[in-house]
Structures are given as C-alpha cells and as structure tokens.
Amino acid sequence: MKIKLPNGDTKQVGSEGSTWEQRTLEKLLLEVYKQQQRANLWKWLWRGMWVLLFLSLIAAMMGGKQDMGALGKAHTAVIDINGTIDSTNDTATKVIEGMEAAYKVKNVKGIILRANSPGGSPVISKVAFDEIRRLKALHPKVPVVVVMEDVCASGCYYIASAADTIYANPSSMVGSIGVISGGFGFTGLMDKLGVERRMKTAGANKGMGDPFSPETPEQNAIWQSMLTDIHKQFVDAVKLGRGKKIDDVKNPDVFSGRVYTGDQGKQVGLVDEFGSVYSVSRDVFKAPEMVNYTPKDDFSTSFGRQFGMQMKSAADTLTLPSW
C-alpha cells in the first residue's frame, strides 16, 4: 500500500511496518510478563516462609500441650544430653534446668538422663556433675539414673558418674576417662618456605602452644602438668560418684582413656545394668509414661547455634584440653 506525503512523495507501508510494531509490542508484553512472574515468585516464597513459621509455632504449641497432659499422672522425666558437651550446646544449663523443672512436679517417679555424647569441655562436665549431686541431695526421694545410648564417653561419663545408677546397651561405647590436647607445628614448613615468625610477647610462656613457633621442653612440661592435673580431677570425680564400684587396682586400664563397650564396661564397674529408657521407666520406676523435660531452644538460639557451628574454626580446639 502506498501513501502520499505532504511534499508530494509517496511511501510504501504495510507488512514490514506492521511486523516492526508487532515485534516491539511483543517484546514489551514479554518483559511485563517476566516481571509479573518474578513478582509472583517472590510473593509465593514469602507466603511459604510465613506458612512454615506458622506451622512450626503450632507444632511447638501442640508438643507442649502433649507433655502438659501427661503431668497429671505418674511419669518418668527424661532429660537429653546430646552432642558435644560445651557452652554452645548449653549442656550444663539444660541438665540443671530440666532437673529443677522435674523436681517441681510431684508425679515424677524418677529422672532419666538420656546420654548420647562423645564428651567435650572438662569445665562444663564438672559443672553438670556438681549440680546433679547438689540437686540429688536436695531431693533424695527421686532417683536419678543415666541411660547411655550409642556413646557416653569422656566428659559425658564424667556427668554420668554423678547418677545413682548407670544403664547402657551392651553395644554402647563408654569410658574414655582421659584428657587430650593436640595441635600441629608448622615450623619445619615455614623454614622450607623461607617464612620467619615475628611474635612479640610479655611473659616467657605467653606464646606457649603457638603452632608457628618451636615448642620448648619447658613448655611441653607445663602442658603435660596441666593435662595430668585435669585428668586427676576427672578420676577423683568418677571415684566420688561411683564409689567402690570401680576397682582401678584390679582394672588398671579403666582410667587410661580406654573406651569400652557397654558389656565390657559392666565387667569393670563403669556400667551397673543393661537397659533402655523404656525398660527403666517401665520396670524400675514403674512409670512407663515418659515426659521430656529437656529445655527447648527458641528459633533464634537454634539458628545462632547452627551458624556458629558452621563458622567455628578448627583452631579453637588445637590447644584447649577436652575429655
């Protein structure tokens, strides 16, 4: 189709002009559609997050109501000791608060500390040990026992030795009554690379344990004396808690840091009887109904703990002694 312009010239218009306009319009509509898709995606993501948060709150409330319903009748209190024993997991705090809450309920027939931990901080372990013994003295009529599951070694056994009775599975891993502190030395590698360590300290032993400086015999002796002292505290606590049940003269390896199975541990006095939380609550306490008194973490605490565990440097454990 030809059209006449004001100056008298003519111009061809038709399919080519219409094609250009259609393409421009299509691009515009496509971009609008993509933007709407992105907006809808974010909208549904936010809705999903709110739904998950709401469902989590409902689940937490329902769980609490379920436990509350069991408080009106005779039951066994269960407190979990899971994971590494340290301040990050609030191990001692959870044990103390859980036991205090259980003692306030008259229908609690006994307390089970359900242990599944490889150990951890000697300080946190001793705090928990001392507090368990203190609370037991205040409430002598409510028995406190430990039921070991997969593993209860090192600092976990330190805590367990404060209980009246220790139960385990024949295949549980128990014991490991010892102290360890390890690290690495990079002085030889630095010499090969031509790297010089420049560290200034005030105090002859301030740089003790620095992996980039050579270890002296004097510093090594200091470290060994510290580990020996902490190990003695560990052994004394176990003997205090277990009494004559452990004969280290007859079984000299029991305090050597050795790990035993539950079956072997029973033979050397580390374990009293075989059992689970179900058999103990049913057959020993005569209260098969169990209520978990372990304090629950709120969302912010759980998130912070997980984030902290991911960000924690391996260097934190190079020089700190642990069970």
Same domain membership, residue 108 and residue 165: yes
Query: Could you say which of 206, 232, 286, 296 is catalytic?
Result: 206
Residue range of the domain that includes 253: 73-178+215-317
Global pTM reads 0.70
Q: Which residue did the predictor score with more confidence, 28 or 83? A: 83
Kindly state whether residue 194 falls inside one of the protein's structural domains. no
Out of 101-105, 165-169, 210-214, 220-224, pick the least confident.
210-214
Same domain membership, residue 114 and residue 259: yes
Return mean pLDDT, the chain: 81
Same domain membership, residue 292 and residue 230: yes
Same domain membership, residue 120 and residue 26: no
Same domain membership, residue 135 and residue 23: no
Report the CATH number at residue 100. 3.90.226.10
pLDDT of residue 232: 93
300 is catalytic: no
Same domain membership, residue 173 and residue 77: yes
Same domain membership, residue 231 and residue 154: yes
User: What pLDDT, in 10s, does the model give residues 271-311?
Assistant: 999 999 999 999 999 999 999 999 986 544 454 545 454 55
Kindly state whether residue 63 falls inside one of the protein's structural domains. no
Q: Which residue did the predictor score with more confidence, 203 or 152? A: 152
Buried b (16+ CB within 10 A) or exposed e, 281-296: bbebbebeebbbbbee
Residues 52-79 have a mean pLDDT of 68
Out of 71-80, 192-201, 233-242, 312-321, pick the least confident.
312-321
Residues 190-213 have a mean pLDDT of 75
Same domain membership, residue 261 and residue 174: yes
260 backbone dihedrals φ, ψ, rounded to 5°:
-120, 155
Kindly state whether residue 191 falls inside one of the protein's structural domains. no
Same domain membership, residue 245 and residue 120: yes
pLDDT classification of 150: cutoffs 50, 70, 90: very high
Q: Would the pLDDT of 160 be above 50?
A: yes
In percent, the amount of the chain with pLDDT more than 70 equals 81
Please give the Cα distance from 252 to 137 (Å, whole number). Answer: 31
172 is catalytic: no
Kindly state whether residue 210 falls inside one of the protein's structural domains. no
Kindly state whether residue 7 falls inside one of the protein's structural domains. no
User: What pLDDT, in 10s, does the model give residues 6-15?
Assistant: 555 554 544 4
pLDDT of residue 70: 60
Q: Whose CA is closest to 265, among 241, 245, 243?
A: 245
Kindly state whether residue 44 falls inside one of the protein's structural domains. no
Query: Could you say which of 154, 161, 176, 322 is catalytic?
Result: 154
Out of 59-63, 103-107, 256-260, pick the least confident.
59-63
What's the total number of domains in the chain? 2
Same domain membership, residue 140 and residue 97: yes
181 backbone dihedrals φ, ψ, rounded to 5°:
-145, 125
Same domain membership, residue 223 and residue 97: yes
Q: Which residues are within 8 A (CB) of 188 and not within 5 positions of it... i.e. 6 or more apart?
A: none
User: What pLDDT, in 10s, does the model give residues 83-116?
Assistant: 999 888 889 999 999 999 999 999 999 999 999 9
Kindly state whether residue 126 falls inside one of the protein's structural domains. yes
Same domain membership, residue 104 and residue 26: no
Kindly state whether residue 104 falls inside one of the protein's structural domains. yes
- Contact criterion met (CB below 8 Å) for 77 and 105: yes
